[in-house]
Structure 1
Amino acid sequence: MRFSGLRVGAVLLAALAVSLMLSIATGPLALSGSQSLLALVDHLFDLQLAQLQEYQRAVIVDMRLPRTLLAVLTGALLAQCGAVMQGLFRNPLADPGIIGVSSGAAVGAVLAIVAAPAAWVAWATPVAAFSTGLLTTLAVYGLARTANGTSVTILLLAGVALAAFAGSAIGLMSYFASDQDLRSLSLWQMGSLTASSNTGLLLSLAALLLTSLQFQRRAAALNALLLGEAEARHLGIQVERLKLELILLTAVAVGIAVANTGVIGFVGLVVPHIVRMLVGPDHKRLLPLSAVCGALMLLLADTLARVLVPPAEIPVGIITALIGAPFFLFLLVKQRRLGKL
């Protein structure tokens, strides 16, 4: 059953607003939603409305708010990139993690964390993650190109192979890492939002604004590409240029997301598929709604990760994998029944 894009967008935005307050109010330190809201108002406008201790205010403003914002930005980035990859390769099984770009970006990020001087890590990590993520994506795309277009089977197999190679490279670098870095790397590889920083938030916001604008400008071309590459060329679309541009933009977005949070899988796979079932395949609606839904999904997953085993926190990448892996298997079975694999 299909719904109006405006109606779905309104519901998603309302759910995101509620989830934002829930995320800020949730944690080992019990704080009500009203306290959290007043603390945020005080922080923005300095009205001194909330009667909170200084440590309570610090927990909300300095710890939970940056983490919440990072979840929103990262979820939106990953979901939009997933929608673009699925449209580009015309298959709901494609996403930045499945085709290896996330693993490739992780190699660069780990290399920067382990080898770069401490003063350079904040900027070296996203640059390295973008570079290796781009190289991985181009390698997978090059291997999957055939005379008849892009082979989804080769795409997935190449992604699996390069992901395995990336895992080995990360394991090797972790072996030579110091004890101090080793635990941080282990948690980072499972996906975590605990290391939010102003630099990371600014980079994520800039990447989201850039990619959202550029993806939306190419929404009509993505719609044409759904008909097939030959048909898109007849409609005046420069297919190879479009692919290269979208791959570059995806590498930027995923590289920054991975640098900030580690590898968080399946958001780019699950979210666009759900939104597509609700509003259809039109990328003019699919892309912005996927961004909102991705932000909502990752925010809820992070909130769940904080409350399942208090006071400990489960890495959010584990939660998204527990949700996404069964969904991916469902898609595989569905594609096989349709004869597309």
Structure 2
Amino acid sequence: MNDPKVTRRQVLALGGLTLGVGAITVAGLGGTAWADSAAAEVELVPVGASPVVVLPGAGVQPAAFPRQLAVQVQHAGADLPAGTEVAVTYDPRLYSPLPAAVATVGDRRLRTTSAITTDARTTLVTCTVTLTETVAAGGDPVVVVGTAYPVLYPRDLVIGPADATAAVGRENVKPSGRRSLQPRRPSTFGGAATPWGLEVSGVWSRYEWANGKRWYYYPAQVTLQSVGPGPVPEAVSFSIALDPQVVRDVRVTTARLNHKAHDAGVRLLSHTLTASLFETRWSTRVKLKSGDRLDLGLEVRTRRPTSDLRTIKHPLVGLIGMGNHITQRRTGRNSMSRTDSVGE
């Protein structure tokens, strides 16, 4: 079906997707609807930009999946008749369907209808897109039905992810010859590995002035929790960004590992001070194992603003320098902040 919310800019973007290198030939498309193109081959070419990482579990190599559920239908030398169907099947744990599937030729959106069904046995979802207009030879439509979404902890380890596949056929005839849309697995994804993850949380303090009518939140404790199942490969480092109009200094005064006093080797890496930002960056010697918790107590020295704060740099604590690890889990909690300070 056509979706009026899909803009021309989106159509242009969808029409300009980068094609993958694998071409899939689908033969045997005979019948009345294909009478004028019975001799022509129809090829499904996977659309591949940068693949996304899927972590199937501990001791398994990270898998590569297409970022978008998209395929180009190439039909050299013959028209694609109205009624042509493209069926894309995918794992709903990894992909979210578009409000309506989109088919484009160049920057033009084709007239289509689409329907989504779920296999009760496999739980896999199939989006079937039907072209309701003829596509002339030389115009190879790109069909897009969905996109990968970031699966957050604890659902980010997807055991046994199913390949995305596509098939093409005639209207009211079940498409056959389903082929994989999986991209080549980049060598940078590495071999078998154990995923790991970190969550940042903490305790906030509130500094008040103007008889309690103005206030600012700052961190009093930073907590770093390893969610496993593997150990964190790098020593934990983090930054604290605050408003210099309210905060004059920050120090890490205590460290506790799994609720016991610990020499964490906390070291100040850098100190940045401008009119609108006071940022400190810190490192530790601690590589957290699965389930470990590191609590760092802070001493924050404040200053009383002399007037209302027209702008506020809200507090932000976040991980830094943890590397770009393929096996890092998506906890959705790599930082913490508050936006409810009141300065005027």
Select the structure with the greater relative contact order (CA < 8 A; seq sep ≥ 6). 1
TMscore range, shorter length: under 0.3
If the length of structure 2 is used for normalisation, what is the TM-score? Answer: 0.22
Q: Which has the higher strand share?
A: 2
If the length of structure 1 is used for normalisation, what is the TM-score? Answer: 0.22
Q: Which has the higher helix share?
A: 1
Choose 1 or 2 for highest CA Rg: 2
